[in-house]
Amino acid sequence: MPLWVKAFAIIGIVLLLLIIVAAVFGDGQHGPGRHLGGDDDESDGTPHTPPPDHTPPPHALVPYRPSGQAPA
Amino acid sequence: MMSPWLRKLVLIIHLTLSVGWVGAVAAYLTSDVTASTSEGVAELRAAYLSMQWMTWWVIVPLAFGSVATGLILSLGTPWGLFRHYWVVISLIATLFALVVLLLETRTIDAYAGIAADPTTSDARLRDLGGTLLHSVGGTVVLLVVLGLNVYKPKGLTKYGRRKRREERLS
């Protein structure tokens, strides 16, 4: 096996291990779920529902599109 | 095996799609940096929505096209898919980048959904962050694959050596 292949293999294995370590020992909140407004997400003090007197900002662009759908 | 004329045509398409993928990720990075660093609410909303559009309409199609034409090119030419180490490593790295991209679309869709929601507060929008780790990592992987495809470093796999022996004997 050529030397450059061994170097690539070592770098690849190290990166893979780093990804696994980050996934296992990270904060456990990787991915979009941490932004989707679970109950425990209220701790940041940001309301998920608008207050009664809320008016949409003037720069509201387009209505919400459910995830997984490509824009038309 | 493909004829030289057809091989060149597929090569042109493959190069266009592959280099286009790198360019599209570079364009995506501009929105991603804005999403990660900007404090302006209008800029943030525009950045998250453009990230979603670029991902679904440009990056994902280019990625699938690049992988498909790469497979056609390797199987239809003497290079093969598992004969040379540079082809095998390119394939693994490209598939890895494609899988991470597809997983990342969930995050991008979630961000765009929050940004498009007019009831989302400014503080929540500023708190979202970006996807820089993945987009920068993806760019590095794609550039490494690009380098491998240009330099084509020598090195036959066990399968490649066996096939070469068989071809010489026959």
pLDDT tens for the 170 residues of chain B, in order: 889 999 999 999 999 999 999 999 999 999 999 999 999 999 999 999 999 999 999 999 999 999 999 999 999 998 999 999 999 999 999 999 999 999 999 999 999 999 999 999 999 999 998 999 999 999 999 999 999 999 999 999 999 999 999 989 98
Which tens digit of pLDDT belongs to each residue from A23-65? 888 765 555 555 555 444 444 444 444 444 444 445 545 555 5
DSSP state of A70: P
Residue B49 to residue A31, Cβ atoms within 8 A: no
**CB-closest option in A31, A49, A54 to B106:** A31
> d(Cα B159, Cα B112) in Å, to the nearest integer?
46
Is B95 an interface residue toward A (CB < 8 Å)? no
Residue A54 to residue B117, Cβ atoms within 8 A: no
A contacts of B117 (beta carbons < 8 Å):
64
ipTM > 0.90?
no
The three state secondary structure string of chain B is CCCHHHHHHHHHHHHHHHHHHHHHHHHHHHHHHHHHHCCCHHHHHHHHHHHHHHHHHHHHHHHHHHHHHHHHHHHCCCCCCCCEHHHHHHHHHHHHHHHHHHHHHHHHHHHHHHHHCCCCCHHHHHHCCCCHHHHHHHHHHHHHHHHHHHHCCCCECHHHHHHHHHHHHC
Is B42 an interface residue toward A (CB < 8 Å)? yes
B contacts of A66 (beta carbons < 8 Å):
113
Is B82 an interface residue toward A (CB < 8 Å)? no
Is A62 an interface residue toward B (CB < 8 Å)? yes
Encoding tokens for residue B153? 């470093």
Residue B128 to residue A1, Cβ atoms within 8 A: no
